[in-house]
Structure 1
Amino acid sequence: MIKIFQSWLERYFADEEAVLVAVILIASVVVVVSMGVVLAPMIAAIIIAFLMQGMVLKLKAWGLHHNLAVSITFLVLAGALLLCLVYILPVFWKQLIHLFNETPRMLVQGQQLLLLLPQKYPGLVTEGQVKELMGALRSEMTQWGQSILSFSLAQLPILVGVLIYVVLVPILVFFFLKDSEQMLAWVSGTLPRRRPVMKKIWKEMNLQIANYVRGKTIEIVIVACVSSIAFSLLGLDYALLLGIAVGLSVLVPYIGAAVVTLPVAIIGFFQWGWVNEFFYVMFAYGIIQMLDGNVLVPLLFSEAVKMHAVVIVLAVLVFGGLWGFWGVFFAIPLATLCKAVMNAWPTVSRLEGQKNAAT
């Protein structure tokens, strides 16, 4: 057993750069897992700065000075943040509270509809089964309401921290954008001069993750805005709430759209029933999903992340379970990172092949 383990170490850790890459990966995971809450503003600022870096590079390509490009990008970010705080967030919160207040009425209406099933299908559904199902749903809704109430009361002190983040994160984003070259030069200076594996991993990740993250963010914004406007024009209740849900559903390929279809259909049905307006909403929702998958995604993603559907779903489950929302958002890039590391990892056979090629 010891010999097998020793041969495995010699095969995959024969190069000192492999050891360094392993140490960096392990240390990064430990820091994020153990200090993720403390470093949340820093991590959020790095992510946002990474997203906005493309705009800075585009403005510099048009001939603008670096500081001016950073200032314009920061003003765009601050304007978007102000728009969300002043206009979008209050409407979102109002619709969420209204939906919560309307939930008991929807449950009663749903119970009345379910009680009709035993009359239409007496051989399949009994009245006792329907009442048992409704009792379980009512119990779950009561616990859910109590959890929301206790959460809101217990988390009031955190609102102060949220306000601090609203001020702190944009400031950090500004300095990350302004001094990104100096920071990267400092990090590069702490690493060995000869690092072909790291350069290969960085090249692949910078190409695929940059395109994916920025493209996915733009996709979420476009789909959420179009869905909210379409639902509002069709007169659907909670248009902004459902539009944001549809936008966020693109985070999880294959299953996000299927999951968010349920609340859209439920709210449309309880608002109108089986009438033309309900089918108009579902038809518009289907058109949005079709245009997103067949037009928007090919336009946004210049470098497609080629992965099997099972790998994508597994990455969403694993990283989402570890890091919540950000784990879901970065599930595919993190899976791409794992793939890039495995492809670039120096083994004995690859090192020997490189030596033979050099000679």
Structure 2
Amino acid sequence: MEEHNDKQMLKLAASWFMKWVLNNKAVSILFILLLVLLILFLLPKVSFVFRPFTAFFDVMGLPIIMAGVLYYLLNPLIDWMETKKIHRAGGIALVFLIIAGLLAWGIATLIPILREQTLSLIDNWQDYLNRFISQVNGVFQSDVLSELQKQLTGDEDGFTGSISGQTEDVVDTTVTGIGSVVGVLSTTVLAVITTPFILFYLLKDGHHLPYYLMPFVPSKMRVKSYELLREMNLQISQYIRGQLIVAFFVGLMFWIGFSLIGLEYALILGIMAGALNLIPFLGSFIAFIPVVVIAIVLHPPFMLVKIAAVFFVEQTLEGRVIQPLILGNNLNIHPITIIAVLLTAGNLFGIPGVILGIPAYAVIKVVFIHLFLWYKAYTGLYDDDFNPAPPPVYSKKKQKRTLKIKRQ
């Protein structure tokens, strides 16, 4: 009798364990998460395994990234040429010849001007910055501001000294960082030589990559995996093409505007503004800093009014015309999210993180959306669409924009 009761208890415990542990979806998901965290914890212990991959990425990372960016920029043109019965390899060769011609024209016409302005700006920047600091200090040491500062802080030289000290720290850091330019330059030269070869084969065979990847994916996951890859590719391509085209037009508009108002170093400042525009929201304002320094040091005070007018016209054209036509709202990312991603990625990875943070976030967002859809279908916990919170009220303009995004 006791043996029978023991067997019965053991059977009940086994059935309970099967029901609440082995066959429980929530426990299975928690167990998988625990395994993932354990793997992440153990990765630093076996970091030597990844050293060959790190060495490979140190050498080939920049050429691959540059080739990938140019691939997304040029691939629609190659596809269009292919629809016009132009052989793909011939179309790629033709595009390369056009790019080489444009580079030769740029070297013959723009590069001398750019070189002259760049060298002059580098040679005189320290002097410009010192004169700018002295002018700012002169403003803060005026009678009215000195009295106000003394009443607020009780220290006549505290605020001015703080500004001068922080500015000098920035200058010292900048000068110290110049020592790494030689290493960066050698890596860049190697990347420039290697990139065209990688780009050629990407344009020639890159669109077949999903076909060769799918056989490595389990049969039941191929459709979902292909949809995931296609959506990730769409997000990256739209962002890269849009940002590069917008940056080109921003640089062009600033160059034209600065040239019209007679600002010194108009070409280099326009190119700088276009390049920094690759950083959403913050890039144009960062590019505005050297413009203000040069305007205050080399021009009359009224030049600041002209620069403000150029900046206003550029921001209006960019926000009202260029970005809606080129970028649209394809990424559908909230501005607060963009700022948070930029600050976090910049803190973690520096300048590359600031530039690549948004497309990386868009890809991660796509992956998490697909994972959540799988989780909903797997657990069955989200069958009911009931939402007790009141729906947001949108204007008619925003409703039309949202409807347009859904149709895309």
Shared fold by TM > 0.5?
yes
Q: CA deviation at 1:59?
A: 1.8
Counterparts of 1:96 and 1:190, CA distance in 2: 54
Other-structure match for 1:10: 28
Other-structure match for 2:74: 52
Counterparts of 2:81 and 2:169, CA distance in 1: 52
Amino acid at match of 1:187: L
Q: CA distance change for structure 1 residues 112 and 349 in 2, over 3 Å: closer, same or farther?
A: closer
Structure 1 contact 115–130 (Cα < 8 Å) conserved? no
Count of residue pairs brought into register by the alignment = 336
Counterparts of 2:163 and 2:329, CA distance in 1: 48
Q: CA deviation at 1:350?
A: 0.8
Amino acid at match of 2:179: S
Relative to the length of structure 1, the TM-score reads 0.79
1:196 maps to which of 194, 219, 223? 223
5+ long unaligned stretches in structure 1? none
* Cα-to-partner distance string for 1:100-137 (whole Å, 9 max, x where unaligned): 24322333333333322x44551335642255235414
Equivalent positions of 1:85-104 (< 5 A) are 87-88=110-111, 90-91=115-116, 93-101=118-126, 102-104=128-130
Q: CA deviation at 1:310?
A: 2.0
Give percent identity, aligned residues only: 23
* Cα-to-partner distance string for 1:118-166 (whole Å, 9 max, x where unaligned): 44551335642255235414632552354145334xx2x5534432222
Counterparts of 2:343 and 2:279, CA distance in 1: 10
Counterparts of 2:261 and 2:91, CA distance in 1: 40
Q: CA distance change for structure 1 residues 182 and 92 in 2, over 3 Å: closer, same or farther?
A: farther
SS in 1 for 2:149: coil
Structure 1 contact 208–303 (Cα < 8 Å) conserved? no
1:122 maps to which of 117, 131, 147? 147
Other-structure match for 1:64: 86
Q: CA deviation at 1:47?
A: 2.6
Deviates more, 1:292-301 or 1:265-274: 265-274
SS in 2 for 1:44: helix
Q: CA deviation at 1:53?
A: 1.0
1:334 equivalent to 2:360? Answer yes
* Cα-to-partner distance string for 1:217-242 (whole Å, 9 max, x where unaligned): 10001101121121122111222232
Other-structure match for 2:393: none
1:111 maps to which of 120, 133, 137? 137
SS in 2 for 1:330: helix
Other-structure match for 1:319: 345
* Cα-to-partner distance string for 1:328-353 (whole Å, 9 max, x where unaligned): 23322222212211211154541477
Counterparts of 1:213 and 1:279, CA distance in 2: 34
Q: CA distance change for structure 1 residues 100 and 48 in 2, over 3 Å: closer, same or farther?
A: same
Structure 2 contact 131–297 (Cα < 8 Å) conserved? no
Equivalent positions of 1:282-321 (< 5 A) are 282-302=308-328, 304-321=330-347
Relative to the length of structure 2, the TM-score reads 0.70
Deviates more, 1:79-88 or 1:170-179: 79-88
SS in 2 for 1:124: helix
Other-structure match for 2:202: 176
Aligned-CA RMSD value: 3.6
Amino acid at match of 1:272: H
Amino acid at match of 2:355: F
Amino acid at match of 1:128: D
Structure 2 contact 248–274 (Cα < 8 Å) conserved? yes
* Cα-to-partner distance string for 1:240-298 (whole Å, 9 max, x where unaligned): 232123223433333333333333333223333432x3212210111101110111001
Q: CA deviation at 1:73?
A: 2.3
Other-structure match for 2:176: 147
Structure 2 contact 71–199 (Cα < 8 Å) conserved? yes
Counterparts of 2:130 and 2:194, CA distance in 1: 40
Counterparts of 1:119 and 1:91, CA distance in 2: 42
Structure 1 contact 95–241 (Cα < 8 Å) conserved? no
Structure number with greater CO (CA < 8 Å, separation at least 6) is 1
Structure 1 contact 13–347 (Cα < 8 Å) conserved? no
Counterparts of 1:64 and 1:328, CA distance in 2: 38
Counterparts of 1:123 and 1:170, CA distance in 2: 60
SS in 2 for 1:39: helix
Other-structure match for 2:387: none
Counterparts of 1:253 and 1:138, CA distance in 2: 25
Q: CA distance change for structure 1 residues 278 and 298 in 2, over 3 Å: closer, same or farther?
A: same
2:244 maps to which of 203, 217, 220? 217
1:253 equivalent to 2:280? Answer yes
